[in-house]
Amino acid sequence: MLGRDGLTGLVVLAASLVLFALTLDLKDNPLVPLGPGFYPRIVLGLTAVLAAALVVFDLFARRHGRPAVRETAARNYRLVLAVFAVFGLYVAFLPYLGFRIATLAFVAGLQSTLEPPRGWKGWLVVAVTAIATTAVAYLVFERYLLVLLPRGRWTDF
């Protein structure tokens, strides 16, 4: 059975081998000795060797009875997943809703996810933070620093 390091090594090994196989399709140029695949093959080969070494070391360590890395403190992985999901939705809808609407929804959504608001005061804090963040970011970047923030394809706003 593999430990954390072994699994990490295995995933990286698989990815590097797939990419290495893709470099074999790259055509060399007859005019120069080094084609576009020369350097990527070195790098991916090195990555594959190191990933394989990580797997081997992990197996070796387990055979010699070294303890696996264990987390001691309690972790809230559900909340991590939720934060990634909220951020993923923000990124996905940003080009469709535009910066202002998407950011307003994101800030309010993420704040509520991280700490569900209690009572009307909690909701007021969420609303004020979301509106202030969106407004300040929009005014500073678009008006003052001349960064053209994304407009929504659906909203044109």
Partner 1 sequence: MYELLLAGIENILHTKHLLPLFVGTLVGVVGGALPGITNTMTVIMVLPFTFGLEPLQGLSAMIGVYIGGESGGLITSCLLGIPGKPSSIATMFDGFPMSQKGEPGRALWLGIWASFFGGLLGGVFLVGTTGPLASIALKFGPWEYFSLFVFALSMVAGLTGDSITKGLLSGAIGLVVTVMGNDPVFGAPRLTLGIRFLEGGISFLPVLIGVFAFAQIMSDVEKMRVARADPAASFVAPKLVVSHAKVIWEILSRPFLLVWTSFIGVLIGVLPAIGGSAANVMAYDQAKKLSRHPERFGTGTPEGIIASEAANNSNIGGSLVTIMAFGIPGDAVTAVMLGAMTIHGIQPGPLFILQEPTLAYGIFGAYLVGHVLMLAILFVGVRWFLLIVTVPKSILFPVILVLCVVGAYALNNTIGNVYILLLFGVIGYLMVKGGLPLAPLILGVILGDQIEINLLRSIMTDANPWLFLTRPISGGLLAASVASMAFAVWQHRRHQRKSGVAQEAADF
Report the interface residues with partner 1, using CB under 8 A: 4-5, 7-9, 11-12, 16, 19, 22-23, 26-27, 29, 32-34, 36-40, 43-44, 46-47, 50-51, 53-54, 57, 69, 73-77, 79-80, 83-84, 87-88, 90-91, 94-95, 103, 106-107, 110-111, 114-115, 125, 129-130, 133-134, 137, 140-141, 144-150
Distance CA 35, CA 24 (A): 11
Q: Closer to partner 1 at the Cβ: 78 or 120?
A: 78
Tally the C-alpha atoms within 13 A of residue 71's C-alpha that lie toward its C-beta: 6
Q: Assign 141 to helix, strand or coil.
A: helix
Nearest-approach distance from CB 157 to partner 1, in angstroms: 16
Nearest-approach distance from CB 154 to partner 1, in angstroms: 14
Distance CA 83, CA 78 (A): 9
Q: Closer to partner 1 at the Cβ: 14 or 22?
A: 22
CB 50 within 8 A of CB 5: no
Nearest-approach distance from CB 40 to partner 1, in angstroms: 4
Q: Closer to partner 1 at the Cβ: 6 or 120?
A: 6
Q: Closer to partner 1 at the Cβ: 51 or 120?
A: 51
Nearest-approach distance from CB 90 to partner 1, in angstroms: 7
Tally the C-alpha atoms within 13 A of residue 111's C-alpha that lie toward its C-beta: 19
Distance CA 28, CA 33 (A): 8
Nearest-approach distance from CB 100 to partner 1, in angstroms: 11
CB 69 within 8 A of CB 6: no
CB 151 within 8 A of CB 157: yes
DSSP symbol at 150: P
Q: Closer to partner 1 at the Cβ: 88 or 157?
A: 88
